[in-house]
Amino acid sequence: MKFNIALLAGDGIGPEVIDQAVKVSDAVAKKFGHEITWKPALTGAAAIDAVGEPYPDETHAVCAASDAVLFGAIGHPKYDNDPSAPVRPEQGLLKMRKKLGLFANVRPTFTFPSLLDKSPLKKERIEGTDLVFLRELTGGIYFGEKGRRDNGETAYDNCVYTREEVQRLAKKGFELAMTRRKKLCCVDKANVLETSRLWRETVQAMEKDYPEVEVSYEFVDAVAMRLVQWPNSYDVLITENLFGDILTDEASVISGSMGLMPSASMGADIALFEPIHGSYPQATGQNIANPMATVLSAAMMFETAFNLPEEGKAIRDAVNKALAEGVVTEDLAEGGKAYGTKEVGDWLAANI
Amino acid sequence: MKFNIALLAGDGIGPEVIDQAVKVSDAVAKKFGHEITWKPALTGAAAIDAVGEPYPDETHAVCAASDAVLFGAIGHPKYDNDPSAPVRPEQGLLKMRKKLGLFANVRPTFTFPSLLDKSPLKKERIEGTDLVFLRELTGGIYFGEKGRRDNGETAYDNCVYTREEVQRLAKKGFELAMTRRKKLCCVDKANVLETSRLWRETVQAMEKDYPEVEVSYEFVDAVAMRLVQWPNSYDVLITENLFGDILTDEASVISGSMGLMPSASMGADIALFEPIHGSYPQATGQNIANPMATVLSAAMMFETAFNLPEEGKAIRDAVNKALAEGVVTEDLAEGGKAYGTKEVGDWLAANI
Ligand SMILES: CC(C)[C@H](C(=O)O)[C@@H](O)C(=O)O
Ligand SMILES: CC(C)[C@H](C(=O)O)[C@@H](O)C(=O)O
């Protein structure tokens, strides 16, 4: 098969980790007889510096014309702590999600037995954890009307959801649960918010179409607790944009494997794949960043966007082998030899 | 001194744990020569059942005329999972906060050395944790305009903050930091929300009035992570209503001492004290609920509302002694003897 893949390296360590994912994907393509054409495009602070815009129209055109998007990370310290900066890298991210229609952010949290000790949680709490968040990504308070009144003394943000937006996200949640342990948790704040009541009633009405799925409804504050107490009690969780932002990040640190967690953002026509870690500006250009989350994001791309599970498995197997043999960057080296970003990428590509 | 204290026992285990706090407070009053008049009033599901309203006007009148409010817990399963119930116990809570002007929720998370093993976190992560959240409690998305349009197909919730609301909360935060380790973290989502940008710019402008306080600004998703990774890196955290709801609950489970955590909600004229745990309907009437969080809330009341630190310390000392001697309810008994709710209360009162 032939694929065009938009390549958005972004800021900080983004370009370095993306390079490794390209190398590994090319090795997979070679082995399985596919042909990948990479289409690099600018995004984030890098794009602001170059053309004054974090998600330029040319970048959107490249993405929209591709079969999938592989994304590094964005964010640069020069834009932090300046609430009034006219353009910020994050705006590019939000614009990209909206314009590509990436309404479902898929965020798995799972454990690697060899990394359990890295978790801040006790082993017996985290063992066996294998959950997935589906976060709604193009609605809610992120995209509602916002602004100031009373001469800037009053600020407001509007959170809005339509039943249709909830349905399309929940549908993905039910379907995903059917391929897994058939448990779905709807996370909301229906005791306070009207949007949450819409979420809850919409999901309740869909239950009858998936009689095998066991559905629970939990308040966002309760989930924030239970994720730390009994993360392995969850299977699939669905939630709105802001709650998902907070809870997926909380979930990411419990496994001890944050540097390895991939993610996908899916729309009707296209999907984007990216590591969940940030742009780690401090590590930029030092060849120390862990490329495995980006490489595993490429695995998700083969599996989800191209429906090629074998290809994805080849990548996962190589990563597991690297972990078992200690071919890891310094964050996982535990006093043993630390490999460089590039060396880990080379090793993975050679072991496909 | 003479005090009138409104006593809102509420639902579930509320009445049982409140009884113990009354007993202990009376012992303190006796020892230090104060006179407490308790003013019981209805709230929560108990009030709905009795008068159709979770925070009746008579209850408000009692609270408004008192020197402080001691509160148990509210919530009853018959009102759960019914997003369209016409009156819900939680509405009483929100109405009470608003009508009493309780704008600052003070939520400490600290550790008891003897309970460190109960934490889901590894000991080295949690040791030494001693942080306080100040959660804004009468503004934000909880109280903004909310509703439906398009025949119920679209729901909305409005989040609104004024500079003044941010200032009065932040002022309490700076002042509290000055009495502690002088570190203040402003938690927001200023990269996305306009209300968060108002929070951040308002706090930034106040920094010059507290030159000794070291202020940091962190995004809510980053704090959700760091609370699990390095909770002992925080001192005082200030945040808006909804973020505070999620993060204070997350913080409450990391210490291993959730059943012991007190809280205060402060207004300009009156303050309310309550355990952070809920109404645990399953445990109602079984004499097994741990009363220590409510008893420690009474300690906070003496210290904060009445400015009587000695009286507060007498209560804390009694609780520490009970923990050291194993006079605890079954949640803390660890295979040893479990005392009843009432027996723990009696023991604490006798040891004042
Ligand atoms: C950078 C920010 C706008 C973004 C978000 O909140 O969605 C990030 O935290 C994420 O989760 O991808
Ligand atoms: C019951 C609910 C309305 C309430 C809140 O969200 O404020 C509770 O979770 C709390 O934190 O006191």
Gap between the Cα atoms of B320 and A208, Å rounded: 52
Counting from 1 in the atom list of ligand 2, the atom nearest the Cα of A189 is: 6
What average pLDDT does the segment A69-83 reach? 82
Fold of the B109-258 domain:
Isopropylmalate Dehydrogenase (3.40.718)
Fold of the B1-102+267-352 domain:
Isopropylmalate Dehydrogenase (3.40.718)
Each domain of chain B, given as residue ranges in start order, spans 1-102+267-352, 109-258
Asked if residue A113 has pLDDT above 90, the reply is no
What pLDDT is stored for residue B89 in this prediction? 83
B254 CB neighbours in chain A (<8 A) are 228
Q: Does B344 touch chain A (CB under 8 A)?
A: no
pLDDT in tens, B128-173: 999 999 999 999 999 999 999 999 999 999 999 999 999 999 999 9
Q: Does A338 touch chain B (CB under 8 A)?
A: no
Q: Is there a contact between B250 and A228 if contact means CB atoms under 8 Å apart?
A: yes
Band (B105; pLDDT cuts 50, 70, 90): very high
Asked if residue A86 has pLDDT above 80, the reply is no
What pLDDT is stored for residue A114 in this prediction? 84
A191 lines ligand 2 (CB under 6 A): yes
Residue of A122, A148, A164 with shortest CB distance to B194: A148
pLDDT in tens, B194-213: 999 999 999 999 999 999 99
A325-342 as b/e: b if 16+ CB within 10 A: eebbbbbbeeeeebbbbe
Counting from 1 in the atom list of ligand 2, the atom nearest the Cα of B97 is: 7
What average pLDDT does the segment A63-78 reach? 93
Q: Which of B55, B79, B142, B210 is catalytic?
A: B142
What pLDDT is stored for residue B142 in this prediction? 97
pLDDT in tens, B183-193: 999 999 998 99
Band (B77; pLDDT cuts 50, 70, 90): confident
pLDDT in tens, A218-263: 999 999 999 999 999 999 999 999 999 999 999 999 988 888 999 9
What average pLDDT does the segment A207-222 reach? 97
What pLDDT is stored for residue A137 in this prediction? 98
A216 lines ligand 2 (CB under 6 A): no
Half-sphere exposure of B318 (CA within 13 A, CB side): 29
Q: Which of A74, A148, A220, A242 to mutate to test the interface with B (most CBs of B within 10 A)?
A: A242
Q: Is there a contact between B120 and A228 if contact means CB atoms under 8 Å apart?
A: yes
Asked if residue B259 has pLDDT above 90, the reply is no
A135 in a known ligand binding site: yes
Instruction: Please tell me the least confidently modeled range out of A99-103, A181-185, A254-258.
Output: A254-258
Band (B255; pLDDT cuts 50, 70, 90): confident
What pLDDT is stored for residue B80 in this prediction? 65
Band (B81; pLDDT cuts 50, 70, 90): low
Q: Which of A87, A150, A246, A257 to mutate to test the interface with B (most CBs of B within 10 A)?
A: A246
Q: Which ligand is nearest to the CA of B221?
A: 1
Q: Does A198 touch chain B (CB under 8 A)?
A: yes
Residue of B162, B163, B228 with shortest CB distance to A250: B228
Is residue B313 annotated as a catalytic residue, yes or no?
Answer: no
What pLDDT is stored for residue B178 in this prediction? 97
What pLDDT is stored for residue A91 in this prediction? 85
Q: Which ligand is nearest to the CA of A251?
A: 1
Q: Does B125 touch chain A (CB under 8 A)?
A: yes
A222 lines ligand 2 (CB under 6 A): no
Asked if residue A81 has pLDDT above 70, the reply is no
Q: Is there a contact between A228 and B195 if contact means CB atoms under 8 Å apart?
A: no
Instruction: Please tell me the least confidently modeled range out of A35-49, B69-83, B113-127, B165-179.
Output: B69-83
pLDDT higher at A87 or B144: B144
Q: Is there a contact between A156 and B159 if contact means CB atoms under 8 Å apart?
A: yes
pLDDT in tens, B296-339: 999 999 999 999 999 999 999 999 999 999 999 999 998 889 99
Q: Tell me which architecture the domain covering A109-260 has in CATH.
A: 3-Layer(aba) Sandwich (3.40)
Gap between the Cα atoms of A279 and A284, Å rounded: 8
Gap between the Cα atoms of B202 and B209, Å rounded: 12
Show which of residues 225-284 on chain B sit within 8 Å of chain A, judged by CB atoms.
225, 227-229, 242-243, 245-250, 252-254
Question: Which of these, B151, B125, B134, B236, lies nearest to B185 by C-alpha position?
Answer: B236
**SS3 string of chain A?**
CEEEEEEEEECCCHHHHHHHHHHHHHHHHHHHCCEEEEEECCCHHHHHHHHCCCCCHHHHHHHHCCCEEEEEECCCHHHCCCCCCCCCHHHHHHHHHHHHCCCEEEEEEECCHHHHHHCCECHHHHCCCEEEEEEECCCHHHCCCEEEECCCCEEEEEEEEEHHHHHHHHHHHHHHHHCCCCEEEEEECCCCCHHHHHHHHHHHHHHHHCCCCEEEEEEHHHHHHHHHHCHHHCCEEEECHHHHHHHHHHHHHHCCCHHHCEEEEECCCCEEEEECCCCCHHHCCCCCCCCHHHHHHHHHHHHHHCCCHHHHHHHHHHHHHHHHHCCCCHHHHCCCCCCCHHHHHHHHHHCC
Q: Which ligand is nearest to the CA of A80?
A: 1
B74 lines ligand 2 (CB under 6 A): no
Give yes or no on whether A1-102+267-352 and A109-260 have one common fold: yes
Is residue B188 annotated as a catalytic residue, yes or no?
Answer: no
Band (B82; pLDDT cuts 50, 70, 90): low
Q: Does B187 touch chain A (CB under 8 A)?
A: no
What pLDDT is stored for residue A106 in this prediction? 97
Q: Which of A124, A133, A151, A191 to mutate to test the interface with B (most CBs of B within 10 A)?
A: A191
